[in-house]
Amino acid sequence: MSMDKTFDAAAAEARIAAQWERTGAFAAGANARPGAPAFSVVIPPPNVTGSLHIGHALNNTLQDILVRWHRMRGHDVLWQPGQDHAGIATQMVVERKMAAEGKPPRKDWKREDFTAEIWKWKQESGGTIIGQLKRLGASLDWDRNAFTMSGAPGAPAGEEGNFHDAVIRVFVDLYDKGLIYRGKRLVNWDPHFETAISDLEVENREVPGHMWHFKYPLAGAETYEYVERDADGNVTLRETRDYIAIATTRPETMLGDGAVAVHPDDARYAPIIGKLVEIPVGPKEHRRLIPIITDEYPDPHFGSGAVKITGAHDFNDYGVAQRNGIPLYALMDGKARMRSDGLSYEESAMIAGQIARGEREAGDVSQINLVPEDLRGLDRYEARKAVIDQINAEGLAVWYLHKEIDKETGAEHLERRPLVDAKPIMQPFGDRSGVVIEPMLTDQWFVDTAKIVQPAIDAVREGRTRIIPEQHEKVYFHWLENIEPWTISRQLWWGHQIPVWYGPKLHDGADRTKLRFSDIVDAKGQQFCGPSWNEVSEAARQYYGPNVQIDETQHGHEGVLPGFPPSALPGAGGGGFGNDDTLRRVRIERDPDVLDTWFSSGLWPIGTLGWPEQTDELKRYFPTDTLITGFDIIFFWVARMMMMQLAVVDQVPFRNVYVHGLVRDEKGAKMSKSKGNVIDPLDLIDEYGADALRFTLASMAAQGRDPKLGPKHVEANRNFVTKIWNAVRFAEMNGVFPGAPTRPDPQHTVNRWIMGETARVRLALDEALEAYRFNDAALSLYGFVWGKLCDWYVELAKPLFDGDHAAETRATMAWVIEQAITMLHPVMPFVTEEIWALTGTRGKMLVHGDWPEYGAELIDEAADRQMNWVIGLIESVRSARAQMGVPAAARLDLIVTEADEAARAALAANGPLIERLARVNAPRDGAAGRGMIAVAAPGASFALPIGDVIDAGAESARLEKALGKADKDAQGLRARLSNPRFAQNAEPEVIEETRARLAELDEDIARIRAALQQLKAL
């Protein structure tokens, strides 16, 4: 079949992708040679709700390059596909879908019925990104597609995997080892979804905000001398105060303050350290007192230097409270409304006051509700307004005099106003819900990461796992060496339900043969952890003894005392208690929470390979070889996978971690919907083809740099695809492809040179890919294919097609083109697969083609020197012609003013090529004279007579104008680089680009000046 005039990317991509899939081209082990080493990669699992974005495109392109390269080398390759169940995102999508369909809200459903709706949605719509990855050309083993909820209770047909079993087994194992526990800590709380979320699910945005300034009066109307000094110690303010001033962006949280903190070195407040101050809000008769403490956290140079400490609603305050034993008073419910539960405000304020005065231990303060009765049940923002109004009404804001001038009379008016600073603030939002996140003190499940972190640190320090580039090791080590307990529970329905049940806790001396109601010390205090109800019920029977019936209940049944069915209560009859109050029956209740998706995805490498079963795949492909991921999830995912796999199977999950940058727009700005600069990779594929997008992304993937992408870059590489196609069509039209190419042994210098260039790029390509220098690999291919093959060799070969070397030239061109598309295939799989099929009789597809292994033995140094000399001369002549404005059609004399033996030999052997490509007449010896310009080559000098073919005056004027512009631009860049503020504030890559641009301008200036000198000499 002959080649079409143009490459139809859309038609070819769909056809080729279907053929790859139909023939099982991507199956694990496909194209593997006997005894070949394994190479395995696990895809960072995209969310089941996801669509392909430009970050996915970069990440999967880089993975696919490595995978295709290893597969063509005959290695035993597995690229494991799969998706994450994405608890919060998926639950949100399905809840919105149900609302749009007029179905009741989630809480009106039974849990199992709601999750059945999610499974239904997953089977109908959850595979979108799979099809999009196939469009990109990702060569994953799609028959092995994994899902982090496969095998979970209620999973429909087709979802029978064992990933759920693996997740639950790991939880139970870590629980039994004391590495997982339940406790109360501060977490990111999403009030819309009413669940804890991870830091990665929090989006910090700069928004307009306010800072309110309030006075906290000293108890008993005490006073102190407040003194401010300048940097030299001079007094700038001295006054007597009966308060300490604080500033806050969230006045509603003042109700939960446990202290006011100042820095220990802040002399302004030294007289009042340890004193009590009054929180300026709440019923006056129950106004609460809190202590003034010292801590390193407050900044004496920011605001008043005094910070209110609300440990239950601020992460920094939480740390201060923990260090100083300050109680944590929770103010809000799961919807971020002010609490309505717990003790009355009067009783709560009384107990909190006793704690502040040291009259009682804090203990469990969860029942203390310090929200005044009139504020209970209000939304947090409604409560904020009420708190501000109450403080202002009592005159306890910090006030200032506001001056206004009457425009008509010029009279000055002074007005006393509360001090409120309007300023931008960083505020955390849920990335799914879009609501402001509230730090909340809640009961959650945690992994005691401090106990499992060291092996993950040691593995990287000892080189068992490499992080590339090394600069990212700092992020990895910093996070692990300062690790906090990992919150792994989420208050959702979609996910792996926590395998823990709660029942009545018995006192230590209880007689299991005859339990009584009085033996119970906590109705819900005994935990039972197991992989299923069978194991849990057996553990419960062992705990309660042989005479107690064990029942299970789901969370949230109304009217049932936790731990007991109604019939179990004393005097209720029905066999729960006998007349002697013997306990005969208890009901244990499963924890309603689910596991954080990062917990399950932390098991991704072993879970996708069949663990806990000792499968052949697990033995063959684990540990995996390379993980390719973005820098933003080094600690969210990479570090956690390291900890989890080492804790569970005592092996690293991967040997290499390659960390790529963030794809930005062409100006270097982060892409966001609000900026309108998001680039959809599918649009780029539709417009320019997958190969052009892939090559662009690879060429920009410099280590430690963020790619800057615009459509123009992809368009340029679509032109590269076209260049390749046209070169192959030229070869086809000249009878280059009679059959499958074989490696020739040419004699002509041109053919020996191009074979050496082919060997050079093969060596450079393998070296770059081994080192994860994807941009170097792409640029090496570009320089060879476009520069050496398409531009030079095609032109140099044209006259050889009709001479004594015609047969060897056709054979050489066929082989070189085959090698070029073979080496291009990992980066540009579609166009190369198409060319492969059209240019010879093949026994297999190019996806399974043999990767070349030749090297330096194909390099003919003599041919290399001669052809590089010839090409250098042609380029010099072309450059001189262009610089001087010589008309393209003009054929110039080439005067040899000086030449050594090697130069003369090169001229003699390649004269016709030089004449044709440089548009010059046959070289002849002579001397330089007026009207000529000089051109140099190694070992030779030449003169080009141009005086009669150009207007020297006009060309001089043109070059002077170009010189002026280049000089001006260079001066601007030098000024920028010499500006200390630019050096201090600009991104390193911006500074580097500016220096590179200046170097280019300096080269241009030198060339222009040299050309002007030659023009003056004409």
Q: Cβ(628)–Cβ(59) under 8 Å? A: yes
Q: Give the C-alpha separation, 637 to 634, whole Å.
A: 6
Q: Cβ(367)–Cβ(227) under 8 Å? A: no
Phi, psi of 608 (to 5 degrees): -75, -20
- H helices present in 577-703, as ranges: 597-601, 604-608, 616-621, 639-649, 681-688, 690-700
The CA–CA distances, whole Å, from 455 to 468, 600, 611, 894 equal 19, 20, 21, 71
The CA–CA distances, whole Å, from 621 to 64, 638, 686, 802 equal 17, 18, 35, 54
Q: Give the C-alpha separation, 846 to 828, whole Å.
A: 11
Overall residue count recorded for the chain in this entry: 1018
Place of tokens 């000892």: 462
Q: Give the C-alpha separation, 517 to 537, whole Å.
A: 20
Q: Give the C-alpha separation, 700 to 715, whole Å.
A: 14
Q: Give the C-alpha separation, 995 to 47, whole Å.
A: 41
The CA–CA distances, whole Å, from 345 to 285, 311, 371, 393 equal 11, 19, 6, 21
Q: Give the C-alpha separation, 193 to 89, whole Å.
A: 10
Identify which of 963, 907, 980, 973 has the alpha carbon closest to the alpha carbon of residue 940.
907
Residue 459: partners with Cβ closer than 8 Å, 6 or more residues away: 465, 642, 646, 652
The CA–CA distances, whole Å, from 1000 to 344, 591, 722 equal 75, 66, 28
Q: Give the C-alpha separation, 743 to 901, whole Å.
A: 33
Q: Give the C-alpha separation, 419 to 397, whole Å.
A: 7
Q: Give the C-alpha separation, 907 to 68, whole Å.
A: 43
> Exposed, middle or buried: residue 206 (CB in 10 Å: 0-12, 13-18, 19+)?
exposed
Q: What is the DSSP string of 970-1016?
A: HHHHHHHHH-HHHHHHS-HHHHHHHHHHHHHHHHHHHHHHHHHHHHH
Q: Cβ(458)–Cβ(400) under 8 Å? A: no
* Token pair of 376 as six digits: 């209970």
Question: Do the annotations mark residue 673 as ligand-binding?
Answer: yes
Neighbours of 866 (CB within 10 A): 21
Q: Give the C-alpha separation, 370 to 331, whole Å.
A: 7
Place of tokens 């729960």: 576
- Chain centroid to CA 760: 35
The helix/strand/coil state of 67 is helix
* Token pair of 383 as six digits: 């409560």
* Token pair of 122 as six digits: 């997953």
What is the amino acid identity at position 102? Answer: G
Q: Is the peptide bond before 469 cis (omega within 30 degrees of 0)?
A: yes
Sheet of strand 420-430: strand arrangement: 243-248, 202-217, 420-430
Identify which of 535, 588, 880, 914 has the alpha carbon closest to the alpha carbon of residue 750.
914
Q: Give the C-alpha separation, 426 to 205, whole Å.
A: 5
Binding residues for ATP: 673
Binding residues: 673
